[in-house]
Amino acid sequence: MSSQNLAALIPGARKALEVTSLPRNHPAPGEILIRNQAIAIQPLDAKMLLSGYGGAGALESFPAVLGSSGAGIVEELGEGITGLAAGDRVVFDTQALVKGGETNRREGTWQQLVICNAKTVAKIGDIAFEQAVLIEFPLQTAVGALHLFLGMGKPGTGSDGEKVLVWGAGGAVGSHAVQYAKSAGHTVIVTASPRDAERQKRLGASEVVDYKAPDVVDQLRSLGPYKYLFTGSGDPASQKALASLLQPQGGRFASVLGGEVGLPSNVERIYKPFSKAAQKDENGEFRGWWYREYLPKVLKENLVEPVKFTRRDGGLVAVQQASVDVFEGKVRGKLVVNPQE
């Protein structure tokens, strides 16, 4: 097995990636070393690389390694690991964007050999690495927002008399929010592009409203009221629309993005790094359920449909241009890269 560890390093804020060799790290107690076989280029990483965005946490020092999720094969185990063995195929997320410095360089997933806490790993059996990595990040974001922060129940516990609004359901996070809300048992109303309406219905939406329609808020008001409101696009227009739908009584909604939006005082916006929910010790119960029960079940039983993806050949060298294409909005679905190529 090669001990080489190539990484796409970001040498400084807004500097282009350099693919170079990093030392092969060894797992400390409670950690594992994973040979990373698939990364999906997320808008978060593209924004951190190209605009210095620090929305989910800052990079404390450079060089740094972006990417906080991946899928691959367990190569080495630290002391005290049970339930995992060398050779297991896994999907995982790391603290790379939660903690900077040395932790970031050990755990950033834009590299070939990644250190990961064994608590944030799920076995994937024989599912394709691409499929697992495409689902884990956006589904954790959606479930973190809906279940952990808005209080929506687990699958099968909701009622179809309680409506959920997912704004911006066209993206990866929005698509997974629709599927989770439907699996919980709710009636799901979404905004999306008209060209996406058929897929949205298949994912579980009962009504699809064009978010560009001039009367979008009126249409949504006539389809409500909503018990849970979520924007998977997070843009200011969506936040204002959800705040307006909560009037006159007020309430709360969750958003994937923050920003200075100027919302009414009776509206609470919940904006968190939902994609990192399982990394926080205070969410230990969620983490256990997510990694030991829910995510493995979703993958094994094929319970959600991932967004479409395109493979980018060229390994880590391809990540810079792939990030530019994501940042510039040129990509529908996700770009997936194999760091071993």
Ligand X SMILES: NC(=O)c1ccc[n+]([C@@H]2O[C@H](COP(=O)([O-])OP(=O)(O)OC[C@H]3O[C@@H](n4cnc5c(N)ncnc54)[C@H](OP(=O)(O)O)[C@@H]3O)[C@@H](O)[C@H]2O)c1
User: Does residue 339 belong to the site contacting ligand X (CB under 6 A)?
Assistant: no
Binds ligand X (CB under 6 A): choice among 27, 67, 138, 306: 138
Site membership for ligand X, residue 170 (CB under 6 A)? yes
Stretch that binds ligand X, among 42-50, 68-76, 181-189, 261-269 (CB under 6 A): 42-50
- CB under 6 A: which stretch of 23-31, 78-86, 190-198, 309-317 binds ligand X? 190-198
The bridge status of strand 121-123 relative to strand 163-167 is unpaired
In this chain, which stretch among 27-35, 95-103, 109-117, 168-176 interacts with ligand X, using CB under 6 A?
A: 168-176
User: Can residue 135 be called a binding residue for ligand X (CB under 6 A)?
Assistant: no
The 10 Å Cβ neighbour count of residue 3 is 7
Shorter beta-carbon distance to ligand X: residue 15 or 212: 212
State in angstroms the smallest separation of the CB of 191 from ligand X.
6
By C-beta, is 42 or 183 nearer to ligand X?
Answer: 42
Residue 257 is a binding residue for ligand X (CB under 6 A): yes
Which phi and psi angles does 40 have, rounded to 5°?
-110, 135
Judged by beta carbon, residue 24 or residue 47, the one nearer ligand X is 47
* Interface with ligand X, residue 143, by CB under 6 A: no
Choices 6-14, 226-234, 285-293, 298-306 (CB under 6 A): range interacting with ligand X: 226-234
* Near ligand X by CB under 6 A: residue from 6, 8, 44, 65: 44
Which residue from 67, 70, 108, 232 is in contact with ligand X, where contact means CB under 6 A? Answer: 232
With CB under 6 A as the contact rule, the residue among 256, 298, 304, 316 that binds ligand X is: 256
Q: Does 193 bind ligand X (CB under 6 A)?
A: yes
Which of residues 6 and 59 has its CB atom nearest to ligand X in the complex?
59
Q: How far is the CB of 126 from ligand X (least distance, A)?
A: 26
Piece in contact with ligand X (CB under 6 A), picked from 125-133, 178-186, 189-197, 314-322 = 189-197
Closest to 144 in 3D by CA, of 7, 43, 255, 33: 255
Q: Which residues bind ligand X (CB under 6 A)?
A: 42-44, 138, 141, 168, 170-174, 192-193, 196, 211, 232-235, 238, 256-257, 273-275, 332
